[in-house]
Amino acid sequence: MLHLRIGNQLEQLSDRLIVDLGRPVNSIFDPEPVIVPGMAVARWLSLRMAQQTGISANIFWQLPADLLWFLFQKILKNVPKTNAFTSDALAWRIYDAFSDIQFLKRHESLRNYLEGGDPIKKWQLSEKIGSLFEQYLIYRPDWIFEWERRSTNHWQAELWAYLIDNGVTKHWLILQKKMLHLLDMDEFISASLPDRINIFAVPTLSTVYLNLLQVLSRHIDVVIYHNNFTKIHWVWTKAIFDADDHENRLVSNNEFFPDEQETNPLLFAMGRQGSEQMNFLIELDSVTKEEFIMPSATGLLGRIQRDVFISRKPIKEPRFEVDTDDRSLQIHVCHGVMREVEILHDQILDVLQGNKELSPSNILVLAPDIEAYAPYIGSVFGSAFGDRRLPWYLKNLSAVHGSALIDTFFLLLDLPLHRFEADKIGEILEGNSLRSRFKISDTDKEKILSWIRDIGIYWEFDQHDMDGLNSSMLHKYTWQAGIDRLLLSYAYGKDITSLPGFSSAIEFDQEEATLIGRLKTILEKLLCLRLDLKNPRRLNHWIDLSNKILEDFFEFDSEIDDLILLRKSLEDLLNISTSGNSHTELSLAVFREALRKKIKQQPAAQQITGAVMFSSLSQGNIVPAQVIYILGLNQHSFPRTESRYIFDHIKMHPRIGDRRLRDEDSHAFLEAILSARHRLYLSYIGRDINDETEYLPSALLSALIDYIDENCKETNEVLVSTTITTNHPLHPFSVDYFNERFENLFSYSNDLVPPTKIDPVPIRPLLKQALPPISDGYISLERLNRFFFNPSRMLIKDRIGVHLERPKGFESSFEPIVVERSTRRSVAEFVVHARLNGESYESVFNRLQINGKMPVGISAELLLDDVWLETTSLVSELSSLGTDLFTKNKKIEINIGGMQLNDIIPNFGDDELIRYTITDATEAFFPIRLLEFWILHLVVNSITEGLSITTRIFTPKKIFRFPPTMDSFELLKDYVLLYREGMHRILRFFPRTSWAYAKSHTDPLSSAKAVWHGSQKYPGEQKDIYFALAFRDNLDSALNEEFELVAKRIFEPLIEHLVKEEKY
């Protein structure tokens, strides 16, 4: 028997369902099928059932389409596990047909459209036709049978015949006919059917589906629980949105139903789908029970829900007066998606703060395009902390927004689509599971990325990949050339510079050598995969290759949920391929797009309880909630517009009961309005983020606003829609959120509160007290120089263990065209060194070219010409001194200041120490280099017996000299003591600022402040991240008396001994 239960609230219908399920027809051990419009409704029913009865078990939740195949497998023999006539399966079968040249020859329009061989174009058309054929099976079964009789000869009919002739022939219409025939012929067959079928709150079912339920009800109980928004049966009689719409032809007989002139405007504007479905249901031969509940008329929201329920036209009664403190329905106007989500977060916090009985699980957030909102939701809700943190859940976030594992997997699939650029390989190495597979830690990854930058790897694997680019020099930027340089650098060490084509050396230890091998292994595997992915193959072979990629490139210590999601998507594609008998070879682009779509279609993983639920504003996702928030009610995005195709015969020849996207969205919006039990929050983007241009809301929201204004009394001559609408500022830190001028504007972001609104919290110093003195009794000359380069950095990194530098990314994926200043400096240093060793211009040019840092073509020659000219005077002056000064090394061991200073001084002369720098005396870096040479001068004068040593410093334009220093040991000792002091407390020494102070003869402090604070053109030294952290509590007053004393202590001896010689 067919039972029809009609109600206007899901809570009421669910209570009736729970009572009915508590009275099983036969055995309590048989699972009972319950058909739902979506899994969100199934979960809501399960929780409600568990709350009322203490348990929810042995329920077989199914979607409407799943029920049919379930029944076919119960009754008929040899029914395949997977339906070969779903839109997905049909798409693959149609793709095979479109790959058949003989078929295309018979249809010129198709051949003309598909000519050119674009596989994506062909795949997208296959998907569209597959979806259309699935709709034909549901809404136009008469056409399908007519096509199978071969009585129609247009191309869609012939395409359908081609599918039937070249694959599975039994679609669900045939199976249904066969099943119903067996049921009529053999009454014992019905014993295979479930004892009862329950259809719960499915908003729309085709007439074919309803007829099937009618026939099944002769053998078993079929119970339909239908959610009808109104207690009055009415008929939608005409289209109201588009006067040119073909659907205007659909005029129903309204003799037995109220005319639209008596119908509630909201119900009339948004309820056509519900009206048509209700008319189909009441025509069934059923036992009907109606159980309606009058909604409460409390507040504006309750009054709207009551008006819709009684389906009356409120204009016949006095206009409704809205209380000034009524917050049941709110409209918020925002500047963009990010602002919508930020405002939503504060609004949820506020409603939870105002109602302690409300929990996050009582809140439902909907959006028409939830995918567009997913990254912003993750950013805002995922980054909140402390009292602002809320439990939240977004269905299948990894599928919608991506995950590290899935993103890395698709980066591997993308290998043939790019030139093996360094930044793309760097992105692949970001994947944790991939690095685990090849035993690469985070530190190893940063080391690899630094090698890639330092040796100049940009793109393509080897010379073979570069052959088509007609350049003999571009191969030096390839991965193979870079790996070769790394391996030779490890093998030869510093001697690598003596080999042709090598201008610099990278030092390695044993562990780093192993890392080079791992990098080489990864690159070789990536190259093999890249070549393999270029070959087209069948769908099942693509799936085999994908599983092999997962095995070869990933180790799954974590990210198990994402792995399951990816494996399940591949398995579903394989089942579709098997059911449709797809055999055409596919390109990578088609497989990649199909897999992306399948991942997004996967059902949600187990939802966390007690959380704010985010979901799409669509049928099957809307359930009753105390508070419902709807985002994205924008003019051009909701409701969806129908895409009209000349081959869509349903749109060209419409019938009552057809699926219409606009009707579905209208029905969903009205259902959301009626499902909010306490508060309804509506939001749209109504302001342009750039110029404040006003945008209109969705047509559905506009209809609601018009309804409110027409039926509610104005407050102080202000429309009610204006009083319930809040226009938000562009920025979340606007002062309007933190004053009392606007009652509806508030923020829970304490970090955005203007300083004048709160008492400033004192910034704590980095160190409350000095650290223990260092215990290491050894120091190298290199470490001592590095300390004075930035004492705060060495203290913070070495003693506190904090590293503030961000990992360097790849500034460019392509070979260098313009050279940076640091690269130019390193080129100049190499040129000077090479020329002192007698190398020619051609030799220097070739060695620089091979290291990957020089620009391409004429730019490299121009750069070397400039550097060669700039360094000529310096090289000439140094060459005149002879080569003996640059060949001796001197080992030093000095006990000084309680420490052992050990090192080897290269290029040590007998009575004179020669040093040079390509840094000019006017550059900001010069005082640091000068201090380095001064400390070296003190060291060599502290270890020599008898005559002291003179140090001469050659720069591109000037020569400086430190004469023999008699008190060098004491001066050096003072620098060592400063090092020890600066390693257990913060030392107020800033090289550039201290140099400006020490060398000034007029106003030292003003000169120092100018360097410290900087200008628009030159950043101040206080911008250094380590200085900013070390002096975070007194950065503006860092240049105090201690600073002055330290600056004098370090630089005054240097300045006193520094002698300028004549220019070249």
Residue 503's pLDDT is: 45
Residue 923's pLDDT is: 75
Is-same-fold flag (87-167; 821-879)? yes
Answer positive or negative: Cα dihedral of 1045, 1048, 1049, 1051: positive
Q: What are the backbone angles phi and psi of residue 202, rounded to the nearest 5°?
A: -80, 115
Residue 441's pLDDT is: 84
Residue with token string 């104005």 = 714
Domain range 87-167, CATH class: mainly alpha
CATH, domain range 2-79+176-293: 3.40.50.10930
Q: What's the Rg (C-alpha) of the chain? A: 39
Sheet of strand 899-906, all strands in order from the earlier edge strand to the far edge: 778-780, 899-906, 889-896
C-alpha 68, offset from chain centre: 38
pLDDT tens, position by position, 612-659: 999 999 888 899 999 999 999 998 888 888 776 677 888 888 888 788
The DSSP output letter for 799 is: I
CA–CA gap between residue 49 and residue 15 (Å, rounded): 8
Residue 239's pLDDT is: 39
- Residue 983, helix vs strand vs coil: coil
- Residue 413, helix vs strand vs coil: helix
Residue 794's pLDDT is: 93
Q: State the CB neighbour count (10 A cutoff) for residue 242.
A: 12
Instruction: For residue 639, say if its preceding peptide bond is cis, omega within 30 degrees of 0.
Output: yes
- Token pair for 1057: 């001994």
pLDDT tens, position by position, 1-14: 899 999 989 999 99
- Token pair for 992: 């550039």
CATH, domain range 821-879: 1.10.10
Residue with token string 């098997």 = 578
**C-alpha distances out from residue 494 to 509, 886, 940, Å:** 13, 16, 25
CATH, domain range 401-601: 1.10.486.10
* Of 676, 681, 677, 675, nearest in space to 8 by CA: 675
Q: What is the dihedral of CA 349, 354, 356, 361, to 10 degrees?
A: -40
Q: Which amino acid, 429?
A: L
The percent helix, strand, coil of the chain (3-state, each to 5) is 50, 10, 35
Q: Are 883 and 864 in contact (CB under 8 A)?
A: no
Residue 312's pLDDT is: 67
What lies within 8 Å, CB to CB, of 1019 at 6+ separation is none
Share of the chain above pLDDT 90, in %: 21
- Token pair for 486: 């790394």
List of long-range contacts for 526-532, beta carbons under 8 Å, 24+ apart: 526/412, 526/415, 526/420, 526/425, 526/428, 527/420, 527/461, 529/412, 529/415, 529/553, 530/415, 530/416, 530/420, 530/461
* DSSP letter for each residue of 281-314: HHTS--EEEEE--PPP--HHHHHHHHHHHHT--G
Sheet of strand 959-962, all strands in order from the earlier edge strand to the far edge: 912-916, 950-954, 959-962, 1059-1060
CA–CA gap between residue 178 and residue 173 (Å, rounded): 9
Answer positive or negative: Cα dihedral of 546, 548, 551, 552: negative
How would you classify residue 169: left for phi > 0, otherwise alpha for psi between -120 and 50, otherwise beta? alpha
Domain residue spans of the chain? 2-79+176-293, 87-167, 401-601, 778-805+887-1060, 821-879
CA–CA gap between residue 176 and residue 71 (Å, rounded): 9
Residue 815's pLDDT is: 52
Residue 884's pLDDT is: 60
Neighbour-count burial for 186-216, b at 16+ CB within 10 Å, e otherwise: eeebeeebbebbbbbbbbbbbebbbbbbeeb
CA–CA gap between residue 862 and residue 1046 (Å, rounded): 44
What are 625's strand-pairing partners?
676
Q: Please, what is the Cα angle at 121 between 116 and 125, to 5 degrees?
A: 125
Angle, in degrees to the nearest 10, between helices 141-148 and 155-165: 70
Report the length, in residues, of the chain.
Answer: 1064
Residue with token string 């720098």 = 917
The DSSP output letter for 676 is: E
The DSSP output letter for 808 is: P
CA–CA gap between residue 571 and residue 544 (Å, rounded): 10
* Of 148, 154, 608, 97, nearest in space to 397 by CA: 608
Q: Which residues of the chain carry a pLDDT beneath 50?
A: 237-261, 398-400, 462-463, 466-467, 469-474, 502-503, 505, 810-811
